[in-house]
């Protein structure tokens, strides 16, 4: 019988080793649309808080350099602290998108954007702003110094009303804040022994009366429109101020902010 030749076994092919893929850190997805949400009422308090933060930073910078120039250590420390508070407030508003992984840790501040935190920040800002007040300027003049803190508290109140689903528009709420501040300024204008300040006070009463009437829906001959709020707010901004004619009115400044919110609500 023929002997069969031994069959040669085919060499086994080794399975290719799976290469380990390097771990890729998940990057934060880019945001769609505007960084600051301004399309709905939820964005209005953030806009007011942003303006407040810029006002606090500006005041902190001015106070710091005033303290350096006139050798006032308290003004220097207060200015630095206000500057830091303003920066922290901007970081909590969630308007910055950091691409660098190291900078992303800063985004932890966004978790603190709550009405309780805003309220506390507003009170702290006002307390430190009071440290910078020259008592010769009086209460009405102090309102201009405390503009940043007033706006922060305004933003906190707006957040509370949004949480409670109140129907009042944010622009109207800000305008009411401005009217209240203007009323305080008008009282001090009448208290001054000058015919010009009394005249400024009369103008202030007329303007805030027109603004209040325009907010009442049943009164049609004074429309509550953006152009009306712009005109009345500008009069209060540049005319009605206890510091002097032509100085910036705190109430008018806040009412002009309500005008900006009205444009965004359209």
Q: Per-residue confidence at 134, pLDDT binned at 50, 70, 90?
A: low
Q: With 70 as the cut, is the pLDDT of residue 101 above it?
A: no
> pLDDT tens across 171-229, in order?
999 999 999 999 988 988 888 778 888 898 999 999 999 999 999 888 888 899 999 99
> pLDDT tens across 35-65, in order?
444 455 567 888 899 999 999 999 899 889 9
Higher pLDDT, 35 or 111: 111
In this structure, what DSSP letter does residue 42 have? G
Percent of the chain with pLDDT over 70: 70
* Among 49, 43, 12, residue whose Cα is nearest residue 149: 49
Q: What mean pLDDT is predicted for residues 77-95? A: 87
Domain ranges of the chain: 39-166, 168-266
Q: 70-74, 166-170, 251-255: which range is least confident on average? A: 166-170
Question: How crowded is residue 147: how many other Cβ atoms within 10 Å of its Cβ?
Answer: 21
Q: 53-57, 96-100, 138-142, 253-257: which range is least confident on average? A: 96-100
Instruction: For helices 226-238 and 250-265, give the axis angle rounded to 10 degrees.
Output: 160
Q: 66-75, 124-133, 145-154, 240-249: which range is least confident on average? A: 240-249
Contact 259, 226 (CB under 8 A): yes
pLDDT at position 36 is 47
d(C-alpha 173, C-alpha 163), whole Å: 15
pLDDT at position 24 is 52
d(C-alpha 49, C-alpha 88), whole Å: 11
Contact 161, 130 (CB under 8 A): no
Q: Which residues contact 184 (CB under 8 A, 6 or more apart)?
A: 139, 140, 143, 251
pLDDT at position 246 is 52
Q: What mean pLDDT is predicted for residues 152-178? A: 87
Average pLDDT, the chain: 79
pLDDT at position 74 is 87
d(C-alpha 47, C-alpha 55), whole Å: 12
Higher pLDDT, 246 or 84: 84
């Amino acid at each position: 019988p023929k002997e069969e030749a031994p069959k040669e076994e085919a060499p086994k092919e080794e399975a290719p080793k799976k290469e380990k893929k390097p771990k890729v850190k998940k990057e934060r997805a880019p945001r769609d649309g505007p960084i600051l949400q301004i399309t709905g009422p939820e964005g209005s308090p953030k806009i007011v808080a942003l303006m407040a933060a810029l006002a606090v930073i500006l005041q902190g910078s001015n106070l710091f350099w005033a303290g350096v120039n006139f050798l006032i250590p308290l003004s220097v420390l207060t200015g630095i602290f206000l500057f830091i508070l303003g920066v922290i407030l901007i970081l909590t508003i969630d308007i910055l998108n950091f691409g660098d992984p190291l900078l992303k840790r800063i985004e932890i501040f966004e978790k603190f954007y709550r009405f309780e935190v805003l309220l506390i920040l507003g009170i702290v800002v006002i307390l430190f702003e009071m440290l910078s007040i020259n008592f010769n300027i009086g209460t009405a003049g102090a309102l201009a110094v405390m503009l940043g803190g007033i706006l922060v508290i305004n933003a906190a109140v707006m957040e509370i009303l949004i949480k409670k689903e109140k129907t009042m528009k944010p622009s109207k709420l800000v305008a009411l804040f401005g009217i209240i501040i203007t009323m305080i300024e008008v009282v001090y204008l009448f208290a001054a022994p000058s015919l010009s300040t009394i005249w400024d006070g009369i103008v202030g009463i007329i303007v805030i009366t027109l603004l209040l009437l325009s907010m009442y829906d049943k009164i049609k001959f004074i429309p509550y429109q953006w152009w009306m709020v712009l005109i009345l707010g500008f009069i209060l901004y540049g005319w009605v101020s206890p510091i002097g004619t032509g100085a910036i009115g705190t109430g008018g400044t806040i009412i002009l902010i309500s005008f900006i919110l009205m444009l965004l609500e359209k």
